[in-house]
Structure 1
Amino acid sequence: MMNESISPNETKHIPATVNIVLQTYFKMVDEKLPNLLESFYLFGSVSIVAYQEGLSDIDFYAVVKRKLTKADLEVLKQIHQDMKGQFPKPGLDGMYVMRDDLEGHNEGESSCPYFNEGNLQGFRPFHRNWIDAYQLKKYGIVVKGLPVESYNYPVDWNLLKTNLVENINGYWLNWVNRCKRVTSLQYLGLFVSPSMIEWGVLGVTRLYYSLREEDITSKMGAGEYALKTVPEEYHLIIREALRIRNGNTFSLYSSIFKRRRDTLKYMKFMIKACNE
């Protein structure tokens, strides 16, 4: 699975479960699409030693040697569906790019197939100033192929911060507004779904951390950071989100109504803080 020129230190933090999934994946690719992959990298929770069994996915970038044909895509779709059938968790969540994508020659072109939950979700451009691209550059684990530094792409934190704020004012502000709309499923979900609490509270908190520190951290790391940096009135909902993320059974709240109110209040506070 691992290129012999890569130091074992690159892969020492890969959990055994993830290794099993990757070995199966590479076997399928080598059999059905030989000589396609130039490099394969892990980023996300595995690369920052924050992988949680049963919760985390396997985030990857695969660098291909040539432009994918329709036939190639059909084979990849079948590989990912087969992988999902064999390994419902952890899922392979990632994008297939070429060197020209990484180095910005195809900037803005939606030419990179993206897979999630075993399915092709569509085509995206590779933006060098996405937080995922920064993760790849700083924390990416080389599983197969060339060192990440072999691909020349700089990261501009001014642009990256702009993109993060756009994400806050787009996706997350809309998420909060849907949760406030009585006719939406999210309105009810925020009462009864602990995963929604965790997703919302820790999701905006990760962006808050990145904007302040120009770096990335795990959801747990972001929550712990917020406990040191935001007013105490928000600490209970942060600890509740961390409790859910950890899989602890008993809620810190006796009222789902108060928990819902605290979630929305905290998220509105964080959206404002991220815009300052």
Structure 2
Amino acid sequence: MTTHPLALGVTGAYLAMVDTVVPDFVEALYLVGSVAMGDFRPPLSDVNFVAVSQARPGRGEVAALAEAHAGLARGWPAPALDGVYLTWDDLRAGPLAVPNGPCVRQGRFFASGCHDRHPLTWSVLRASAVTIRGPLCAGTGLWRGTTHLERWALASVDERRRAGLGPDTADATLLTANGVERFVLGMCRLHYVLATGIVPSKSDAGLYGLITFQPEWHRIIDEALRIRREPGAECLYATPGERGRDALAFLRLVADDARTLVVGPGGSGPG
């Protein structure tokens, strides 16, 4: 699979900056997310990364990394870098052992946070990471946790129901094309994870949704796929409000159905 040139461009610029301000700090750099899955779609997609070092950054290194990412965001406003800084021990211990640490969200560096420190990141690292620097993930003793991936996916379904499907946030978010794409395909992805134990790309998750759910839901799934893959094509809905109502109804359906895939309090899904 060929890595998208925009992803290579921003990661090359990132490494040049980081190597200048914190020499020898980033020992390995892996790309995950849509870049690793062959589903990178500018301008919707960020470049998701995992940077690995021997130790966590000290105070001076934190300041230098923050300045490097700020400079990168000025020079490369899109696509944005989005990811986490881990140590080799973190990589082997897994997300439950390291719930917080340095991270980058939409190009902005944070000294500590939980962003992307979840089983999905480790699953994609294991299955399809693009190695930009350092050894292949297969030789790093990478943490494995299929059961934890299932639990994370189910918790994410519940979180989206609480936070994203309320009457206020849903109405606002689902009136935008990006919100429809993110929520509809994101929920299809979570359902796929619970059904199979495998993390798909967003586009593959949408195709799975077309196969899995009744034809009455196909228009909203096709609309989410259109936004992701052919944003210039004609919208399948007459108004944003009509599209938002269908999206909200679909999200509620998927959330309810996803819970039926896990039996018992601890779950008994795939893996």
For the superposition of Structure 1 and Structure 2, which TM-score range results when normalised by the shorter chain? Answer: 0.7 to 0.9
**Inter-partner Cα distance in structure 2 for 1:241 and 1:106:** 30
Q: 1:93 aligns to what? A: 82
Q: 1:248 aligns to what? A: 232
Cα distance change of structure 1 residues 235 and 125 upon mapping to structure 2, 3 Å threshold:
closer
**Inter-partner Cα distance in structure 1 for 2:107 and 2:24:** 22
2:119 to 130, 147, 161: 130
Segments of 4+ in structure 1 off by > 4 A? 125-129
Where do 1:27-106 residues align within 5 Å?
A: 27-104=16-93
**Inter-partner Cα distance in structure 2 for 1:143 and 1:208:** 30
- The two structures have a TM-score, normalised by structure 1, of 0.86
Cα distance change of structure 1 residues 91 and 228 upon mapping to structure 2, 3 Å threshold:
same
Q: Does 1:262 align with 2:246?
A: yes
Q: 1:227 aligns to what? A: 210
**Inter-partner Cα distance in structure 1 for 2:147 and 2:219:** 33
Shift of 1:157: 1.6
Shift of 1:168: 0.6
Shift of 1:117: 2.3
8 Å Cα contact 1:40/1:63 also seen in 2: yes
Cα distance change of structure 1 residues 107 and 223 upon mapping to structure 2, 3 Å threshold:
closer
**Inter-partner Cα distance in structure 2 for 1:69 and 1:28:** 18
Query: In the TM superposition, what whole-angstrom CA distance separates every residue of 1:12-43 from its partner, at most 9, and x where no partner exists?
Result: 62222222222221111222111112211111
8 Å Cα contact 1:173/1:271 also seen in 2: no
Shift of 1:128: 8.1
| Higher Rg | 1
Shift of 1:118: 2.4
Over the matched positions of the two proteins, sequence identity in percent amounts to 26
Shift of 1:261: 2.1
Q: 1:197 aligns to what? A: 180
Q: 1:4 aligns to what? A: none
Shift of 1:255: 4.2
Q: 1:237 aligns to what? A: 220
Q: 1:213 aligns to what? A: 196
Query: In the TM superposition, what whole-angstrom CA distance separates every residue of 1:162-219 from its partner, at most 9, and x where no partner exists?
Result: 1110111013432101xx2xxx35424433x122211211111111111112212221
**Inter-partner Cα distance in structure 2 for 1:222 and 1:140:** 18
Give ranges in structure 1 of 5+ residues lacking alignment.
1-11
- The two structures have a TM-score, normalised by structure 2, of 0.88
Shift of 1:122: 4.9
- Larger mean CA deviation between 100-109 and 54-63 belongs to 100-109
8 Å Cα contact 2:194/2:258 also seen in 1: yes
Shift of 1:141: 1.2
- Paired residue secondary structure (2:174): helix
May I ask how many residue pairs the two structures share in their alignment?
259
Amino acid aligned to 1:115: V
Where do 1:113-152 residues align within 5 Å?
A: 113-124=102-113, 130-152=119-141
**Inter-partner Cα distance in structure 2 for 1:169 and 1:26:** 37
Q: 1:166 aligns to what? A: 155
Cα distance change of structure 1 residues 92 and 230 upon mapping to structure 2, 3 Å threshold:
same
Give ranges in structure 2 of 5+ residues lacking alignment.
261-271
- Larger mean CA deviation between 263-272 and 249-258 belongs to 249-258
Amino acid aligned to 1:234: W
Shift of 1:82: 0.6
**Inter-partner Cα distance in structure 2 for 1:126 and 1:255:** 34
Query: In the TM superposition, what whole-angstrom CA distance separates every residue of 1:30-77 from its partner, at most 9, and x where no partner exists?
Result: 221111122111111111111112221111111112231010000000
Where do 1:178-193 residues align within 5 Å?
A: 180=167, 184=168, 186-191=170-175, 193=176
Cα distance change of structure 1 residues 221 and 105 upon mapping to structure 2, 3 Å threshold:
closer
Cα distance change of structure 1 residues 255 and 58 upon mapping to structure 2, 3 Å threshold:
closer
Cα distance change of structure 1 residues 106 and 237 upon mapping to structure 2, 3 Å threshold:
closer
